[in-house]
Chains A and B, each alone.
Chain A
Amino acid sequence: SQTIHQWPATLVQPVGSPLSLECTVEGTSNPNLYWYRQAAGRGLQLLFYSVGIGQISSEVPQNLSASRPQDRQFILSSKKLLLSDSGFYLCAWSVPGEQYFGPGTRLTVT
């Protein structure tokens, strides 16, 4: 069966520091991969999605970037965090018709 991992589970970072969140998927090949952000008590904001290695689509302008170095690995990065980057970051994968979320990373920027 398919499994999706995210780490770290929680992270506290100062403003201006870099960020790297990693997501890996097991048990499936060539999935679509997604990064969402969820502010406290809010909905799901799509940040990036990828249909293959090296293929990244960005949904909103921001100081974040994403990369997909391997088929089942998706990385979210920032060179300098802002206070507004705080939130719950969810990686998700999909094959035609279904989408599943990873356990998430709770990021607090101080």
Chain B
Amino acid sequence: GENVEQHPSTLSVQEGDSAVIKCTYSDSASNYFPWYKQELGKRPQLIIDIRSNVGEKKDQRIAVTLNKTAKHFSLHITETQPEDSAVYFCAASAWNTGNQFYFGTGTSLTVIP
């Protein structure tokens, strides 16, 4: 089955700096890669996703890149703000053939004002 690894487990950055979270996956059949943000006590919220036919996707201050050959994808947050502090999860799924989403173990991001 699919195995998703996520690094780092914790990340602290100064406000205004960039943050990068990286994930690797093992199953070449995976073709959909969402990222979730979970604030304390809340549900995970989908913030951005990318499909395997795209190498990069951007939405304001967040972007995701995908390298299918190396089987890794990354979340980039620029100009970080205190409200970006949360736990971020990556996931992988074979959306057109599979039913399961495989999650990374999460990255706790702290943005220091």
Q: Which residues of A contact B (CB under 8 A)?
A: 32, 34, 42-44, 46, 49, 51, 57, 90, 94, 96-104, 106
Contact = CB atoms under 8 A, between A and B. Distances in A.
A90 B51 contact: no
Contact of A103 (B43, B89, B91, B99): B43
A44 B103 contact: yes
Nearest to A92: B101
Contact of B99 (A49, A101, A102, A104): A49
A86 to B, nearest CB: 15
B27 to A, nearest CB: 15
B64 to A, nearest CB: 14
Nearest to B45: A101
A101 B96 contact: no
Interface residues of B, number: 23
5 contacts: A43-B103, A97-B96, A98-B49, A99-B46, A99-B93
B43 A102 contact: yes
A46 B91 CA distance: 12
B43 to A, nearest CB: 4
Given A99-B46, A100-B46, A43 B93 contact: no
Interface string B81-93: 0000000010101
B110 to A, nearest CB: 14
Q: By CB atoms of chain A within 10 A, which of B43, B51, B103, B106 has the most?
A: B43
Nearest to B91: A99
Contacts of A101: 36, 43-45
Contact of A98 (B34, B89, B106): B34
Sort A-B residue pairs by CB-CB distance and give the 10 closest, nearest first: A97-B95, A101-B43, A43-B105, A44-B103, A43-B106, A96-B95, A101-B44, A104-B43, A32-B99, A99-B101
